[in-house]
Amino acid sequence: MKIIETPAQIHFEGRTIPPRAWYVWGGLFLPGMAALLLVPEAYRFIGLVVWMAIWLGLFFFVPHWLGEAVRVTIDSNKREIVWRRNGEVTRTLSFAEVRQFDIQPVTIASRPYKAFQLVATLKNDNRITLAVDPREAEIQRALKLVVRFR
């Protein structure tokens, strides 16, 4: 997560990785293995090692390239919170609907580490996530900025 501060706005930027991105990365494995059949037999083991290194290296790039950019903007002039996914507005929430901002720890089954989320508690007791980061200090900094803007 990246925090961008301006005098009137705070932006939380990050990327989500959809399941489709993992399928694409996994789907690259079999064509690469099939391509090894074109390599002369004496070099197939070396080719296998090289292909495995390339394929595992792609783990760090392909899902993020295919991920979607998410941006949450807290605007003190308009007194609203706006969620954008790939530049399109997906949700808008007025400050009048928010009771408080808070930090919650979250453990996601697909991640072996604990993360922290900045949430907005609405007046109807629903919670909406504004930002998630594995570093608690970043989320606490974000909370201080949001509270200052409110």
Q: pLDDT, tens digit, for every residue of 68-83?
A: 899 999 888 888 999 9
- Cα R_g (the chain), whole angstroms: 21
All CATH 2.30.29.30 domain ranges of the chain, comma separated, are 2-16+68-149
Residue whose token pair is 């392909």 = 62
Residue 111: band (very low, low, confident or very high) from pLDDT cuts 50, 70, 90: low
Distance CA 127, CA 58 (A): 36
Residue 147: band (very low, low, confident or very high) from pLDDT cuts 50, 70, 90: confident
* Angle 144-145-148 from CA coordinates, rounded to 5°: 85
pLDDT digits (tens, 9 = 90+) for 3-59: 888 888 889 898 888 888 889 999 999 999 999 999 999 999 999 999 999 999 998
CATH: 2.10.109.10, 3.40.1390.20, 3.90.470.10, 2.30.29.30. Which one for 2-16+68-149? Answer: 2.30.29.30
* Angle 119-143-109 from CA coordinates, rounded to 5°: 45
pTM of the predicted model as reported, rounded to 2 decimal places: 0.71
Would the pLDDT of 112 be above 70?
A: no
**What stretches of the chain show up as alpha helix (H) in DSSP?**
19-27, 29-35, 44-58, 62-65, 136-149
